[in-house]
Chains A and B, each alone.
Chain A
Amino acid sequence: MKKFQLLLIGLGLSTVLLAQRVKLSEIKADVWPENDPYAKMTDIPDEWTGESAVIIYQKYWHEYNSRGKRVYYATKTRRRIKLLDKSAVEDYSELSFSENFRVDRGFYGKGGRVIAGLKVIKPDGTVQEFDMEDAVAIQSDSGERLKKIAVPDLEPGDILDYFYFVYEPFEVINSYLFEPVVSVLSGEHPIVKQDIEYAVGKKFYINFRSLNDAPELKEIERGRGKKVTYALSDEMREGSDDLRWFYPRCELPVIKFQVCFARKDRIAEQVYAFLGKKDQVKQKVLDAEVLNLMKSSYDFKPTGLVKGARAHLKRMGLSKEKDFQAYIREAYNFYRHQHVVRTIEFGEVYKKDNGYASRIRIAPNKSYRERAFISGFGSFLAKEKIPFSLLVTIPRYLGDLDKLLLAAELDLLLRIDREAPIYLGPYDVFTDYNQIPSELEGAMAHRFEIYPKAYKGKRELIQLPASDNKSNKTTKQLEVRFAEGDLNTLSVKRQSQHTGHVKGYYQEALLYPYDYIDPDRKNFDDKPYYLRERLKRREVKRIEAQVAELREDFAEQQLASFEASAHDDLDLEIKTYNSYNIEDLGRDGHNSAFRFADEFELEGLVKRAGRNHVFEVGKLIGGQVALKEDEMERKENIYMPYARSFENQITIYLPEGYTVEGLDNLNMKVENETGGFVSSATVEGNILTLNVLKYYSHNYEKAAAWTQLTAFLEAAYDFTQQKVLLKKG
Chain B
Amino acid sequence: MIFTRFMLTLLSCACFVLVYGQRKGQPSAKEVEQAEELQEKFEDAKVAALASREIFVFGFDKKDQQVTVTSTKQERLVGLSAGGQLPIVEFYDETSSVENIKVTNRRKRNVPVYPRDEHYQVADYFYSDARIKYFSLDFPQIGQSYTTKIEKVYHDVKYFTRTYFASSVYPIANKELQFVVPRWLDVELHPVNFAGWTIEQETAYDKKADADIHTFKIKDVKPFSEESNAPAPAYLYPHLLVLAKSYNKDGKTQNLFASTQDQYNWYRQLVQQIGNEPEEVKAKVKELCADAASDLDKVKAIFYWVQDNIRYIAFEDGLAGFKPESCQQVFQNKYSDCKGMANLTCEMLRLAGFDARLTWIGTQRIPYDYSTPSLAVDNHMICTVILDDVKYFLDPTEKYIAFGDYAQRIQGQQAMIENGDAFILEEVPVQSKDKNAELIRRQMQLENETLVGKAAHEFNGESRSRLLYHINQVRTNDVEDALKRYITEGDKNLRVSNIATSDLENRDQVLNLSYTFEQDHAVSSFGEETYIELDFYREFGNFTIEEDRELDYQFDRKIELRVEIELTIPEGLAIQELPKGLDEQHPDFSFQIKWREEGGRLFYDKIITIDQGVIPKGQFDTWNRCIKLLQEAYQEQIVLVKKS
Contacts and interface: CB of A to CB of B under 8 A. Distances in A.
Interface of A: 1, 50-52, 84-88, 90, 93-94, 136-141, 148, 150, 152-155, 304, 343, 346, 350, 352-355, 358, 360, 488, 529, 533, 535-536, 538-539, 542, 545-546, 549, 573, 604, 606-610, 612, 614, 626-629, 661-662, 717, 721, 723-725, 727
A665 to B, nearest CB: 9
15 contacts: A50-B477, A52-B475, A87-B475, A88-B475, A138-B127, A139-B119, A148-B126, A148-B127, A533-B8, A535-B11, A542-B141, A546-B83, A614-B524, A614-B637, A628-B492
Contacts of A136: 126-127
A539 B7 contact: no
Given A538-B22, A628-B492, A607 B635 contact: yes
B531 A86 contact: no
A542 B18 contact: yes
Nearest to B17: A353
Contacts of A50: 476-477
B524 A725 contact: yes
Interface string B609-644: 000000000000000000000011001111100000
Contacts of B333: 150, 152-153
Contacts of A153: 332-334
Contacts of A535: 11, 15
Contact of B526 (A343, A360, A546, A661): A661
A584 B239 CA distance: 56
Contacts of A545: 82-83, 141
A723 B524 contact: yes
Given A87-B476, A549-B82, A538 B19 contact: yes
Contact of A90 (B473, B533, B542): B473
Contacts of A539: 15, 18-19
B309 interface: yes
Contacts of B19: 536, 538-539
Specify the main secondary structure of chain A where it touches its partner. Answer: mixed
Given A86-B473, A150-B333, A546-B140, 12 more contacts: A50-B476, A87-B473, A138-B121, A153-B332, A343-B3, A488-B635, A538-B22, A542-B141, A545-B83, A607-B637, A609-B639, A614-B524
Given A87-B475, A93-B335, A529 B7 contact: yes
Nearest to A613: B637
Contacts of B430: none
A88 to B, nearest CB: 7
A88 B472 CA distance: 11
B540 interface: no
A355 B85 contact: yes
Nearest to B520: A721
Nearest to B485: A628
Interface string B62-82: 000000000000000000011
B628 to A, nearest CB: 11
A93 B311 contact: yes
Interface in B139-160: 140-141
B524 A610 contact: no
Interface in B472-514: 472-478, 490, 492-493, 495
A126 B6 CA distance: 62
Contacts of B85: 355
Contact of A546 (B11, B82, B524): B82
A52 B478 CA distance: 9
B112 interface: no
A87 B478 CA distance: 10
Nearest to B472: A86
A614 B1 CA distance: 66
A201 B182 CA distance: 73
Contacts of A350: 10, 14
A609 B636 contact: yes
B138 interface: yes
B33 interface: no
Contacts of A343: 3, 7
A358 B639 contact: no
B1 A610 contact: no
A353 B7 CA distance: 15
Contacts of B572: none
A573 B476 contact: no
A329 B364 CA distance: 66
A138 B18 CA distance: 34
Nearest to A721: B521
Contacts of B81: 549
A170 B402 CA distance: 58
A337 to B, nearest CB: 14
B606 to A, nearest CB: 17
Contacts of A139: 118-119, 121
B313 interface: yes
Nearest to A532: B4
Nearest to B638: A609
B476 A662 contact: no
B304 to A, nearest CB: 14
A155 B309 CA distance: 8
Nearest to B575: A610
Contacts of B229: none
Interface in B511-555: 520-521, 524, 526-527, 529, 531, 533, 542
B254 interface: no
B545 to A, nearest CB: 16
B334 A152 contact: yes
Given A85-B475, A614-B524, A609 B7 contact: no
A688 B10 CA distance: 60
A470 to B, nearest CB: 29
Contact of A94 (B136, B309, B313, B527): B313
Interface string B116-127: 001101001011
Contacts of B527: 661
B110 interface: no
Contacts of B478: 52
Nearest to A660: B526
A303 to B, nearest CB: 10
B576 interface: yes
Nearest to A626: B492
B291 interface: no
Nearest to B334: A153
Given A355-B85, A721-B521, A607 B126 contact: no
A634 to B, nearest CB: 17
B178 to A, nearest CB: 33
A542 B140 contact: yes
A488 B634 CA distance: 13
A232 B490 CA distance: 42
A629 B495 contact: yes
A486 to B, nearest CB: 11
A717 B18 contact: no
A430 to B, nearest CB: 21
Contacts of B576: 610
B226 interface: no
B598 interface: no
Nearest to A346: B7
B577 interface: yes
A299 to B, nearest CB: 19
B632 to A, nearest CB: 8
A570 to B, nearest CB: 16
Interface in B1-31: 1, 3-4, 6-8, 10-11, 14-15, 18-19, 22
A404 B334 CA distance: 50
A543 to B, nearest CB: 9
Nearest to B309: A155
Contacts of B83: 352, 545-546, 549
Contacts of A352: 83
B22 A542 contact: yes
B126 A94 contact: yes
Nearest to B15: A539
A352 B18 CA distance: 13
B473 A721 contact: no
Contacts of A354: 14
